[in-house]
């Protein structure tokens, strides 16, 4: 039976980690160490590398530790165990058991996993859902994300098209810009503070730092009426998936149609050849509340619901994997 060893990530593994992320079937640029470490002072990193008996990397777990709990990295939107397309299910079962045994030896009482939604994956990647069932993991949170399958025959509602027409009559223009300062300081931060009492997850310095590191992955689009900035969106591009990280505009959504105009262009022109367009979730209070108006607006562009699951795993349940594999 194949043996696996679990080692804690150190900076000496920087290149090997990133090389594996680049070829994995369920990874995005968020798992690159340059992205993970932009806010490293906020988290105690406890990322793990799993290697086989030939010392080849077979899986990664981006993670941080709090007390005796290990989390899919809390500074990332999603996580889970990263694998490439060569790892077969029977080997994954053994690998997962090795991981849980390692966590037991480290006195980790709970592993919190938030597997990456499957539409981000280059190939089917739901092995982890099967394994979590086998070890009786607790599904304790579900977020609903509004996503468009761009290759499907999605329909944009009349109300959204009316907003686009209004924007065109007003002569609005859209620009892809490098500098996020105007959007951050004049629209995003004031709106988040006024409506939710929050700040953006990323500071202005952080988003500029990340844009410099990942210029093809992080893009900023702004809508103007003459020289006045009316709305904007910050998007993360991951392979064939476009994720909207931030959306904000002045006034209400129907006042000048700026947001309708912006997303109509992104869907029909800028990203029309991609596979998925992910607006993200419209949830609050850990997925238990839905912002109806925001979700309705997203659905108006043809978005429909995928879910993002969060699991709690007890490492000592690794014994439940002892007799799963059999030959006949």
Q: What is the pLDDT of residue 122?
A: 95
CATH fold match for the domains 4-141+309-321 and 152-274: yes
**Residue-level pLDDT at 327:** 82
Torsion 80-84-90-94 (CA) sign? negative
The pLDDT assigned to 112 comes to 98
Give 227's Cβ-side CA count (13 Å radius): 0
Contacts of 246 (CB under 8 A, 6+ apart): 188, 200, 232, 233, 234
- Which residues, 6 or more positions from 321, have their beta carbon under 8 angstroms from its beta carbon? 93, 94, 96, 97, 100, 131, 134, 135
CATH of span 4-141+309-321: 3.40.630.30
- Note the pLDDT of residue 3: 87
Q: What is the pLDDT of residue 255?
A: 80
- For residue 62, what are the CA distances in angstroms to 24, 72, 112, 134, 317? 13, 6, 11, 22, 21
Copy the structure tokens of residue 223: 């809508």
Burial-class residue 287 by CB neighbours within 10 Å (0-12, 13-18, 19+).
middle
Q: What is the pLDDT of residue 242?
A: 98
- pLDDT for the residue numbered 328: 79
- Position 326 scores a pLDDT of 87
Tally helices (H) and strands (E) across the chain: 10, 16
Number of Cα atoms under 13 Å in the Cβ half of residue 50: 26
Tell how far CA 156 is from the center of its chain.
Answer: 24
For the chain, the structural domain boundaries read 4-141+309-321, 152-274
**Predicted local confidence at residue 251, as pLDDT:** 78
How far, in Å, CA of 115 to CA of 129, rounded? 8
User: Which CATH number describes the domain made up of 152-274?
Assistant: 3.40.630.30
CA dist 36 to 5, 29, 47, 91, 129, Å?
23, 9, 10, 28, 24
| Region label for 178, one of left (φ > 0), alpha (ψ between -120 and 50) or beta (otherwise) | alpha
- pLDDT given for residue 254 in this prediction: 63
Average pLDDT per consecutive 10 residues, the chain (328 residues; last block may be shorter)? 90 98 97 96 96 96 98 96 96 97 98 96 96 98 97 95 96 97 97 91 96 98 96 97 96 82 98 97 93 94 97 98 90
The reported pLDDT for the residue numbered 253 is 58
* pLDDT value, residue 196: 85
At what angle are helices 158-169 and 258-265 packed, to 10 degrees?
100
């Amino acid at each position: 039976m194949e043996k696996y060893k679990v080692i804690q990530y150190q900076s000496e593994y920087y290149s090997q980690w990133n090389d594996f992320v680049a070829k994995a079937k369920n990874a995005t640029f968020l798992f690159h160490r340059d992205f993970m470490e932009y806010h490293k002072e906020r988290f105690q990193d406890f990322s793990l590398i799993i290697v086989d008996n030939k010392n080849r990397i077979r899986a990664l777990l981006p993670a941080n530790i709090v007390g005796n709990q290990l989390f899919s990295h809390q500074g990332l939107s999603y996580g889970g165990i990263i694998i490439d397309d060569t790892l077969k299910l029977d080997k994954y079962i053994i690998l997962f058991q090795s991981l849980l045994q390692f966590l037991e030896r480290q006195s980790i009482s709970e592993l919190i996993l938030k597997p990456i939604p499957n539409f981000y994956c280059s190939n089917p990647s739901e092995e982890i859902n099967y394994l979590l069932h086998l070890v009786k993991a607790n599904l304790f949170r579900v977020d609903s994300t509004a996503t468009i399958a761009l290759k499907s025959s999605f329909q944009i509602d009349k109300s959204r098209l009316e907003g686009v027409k209004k924007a065109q009559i007003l002569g609005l223009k859209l620009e892809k810009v490098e500098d996020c300062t105007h959007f951050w300081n004049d629209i995003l931060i004031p709106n988040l503070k006024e409506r939710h009492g929050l700040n953006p997850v990323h500071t202005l310095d952080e988003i500029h730092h990340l844009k410099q590191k990942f210029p093809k992955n992080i893009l900023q689009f702004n809508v103007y009426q003459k020289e006045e900035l009316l709305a904007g969106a910050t998007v993360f591009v991951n392979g064939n998936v476009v994720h909207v990280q931030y959306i904000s505009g002045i006034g209400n959504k129907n006042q000048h149609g700026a947001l309708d105009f912006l997303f109509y262009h992104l869907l029909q022109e800028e990203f029309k050849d991609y596979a998925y367009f992910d607006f993200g979730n419209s949830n609050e209070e850990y997925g238990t509340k839905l912002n109806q108006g925001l979700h309705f607006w997203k659905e108006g562009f043809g978005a429909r619901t995928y879910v993002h699951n969060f699991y709690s795993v007890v490492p000592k349940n690794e014994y439940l994997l002892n007799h799963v594999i059999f030959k006949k």
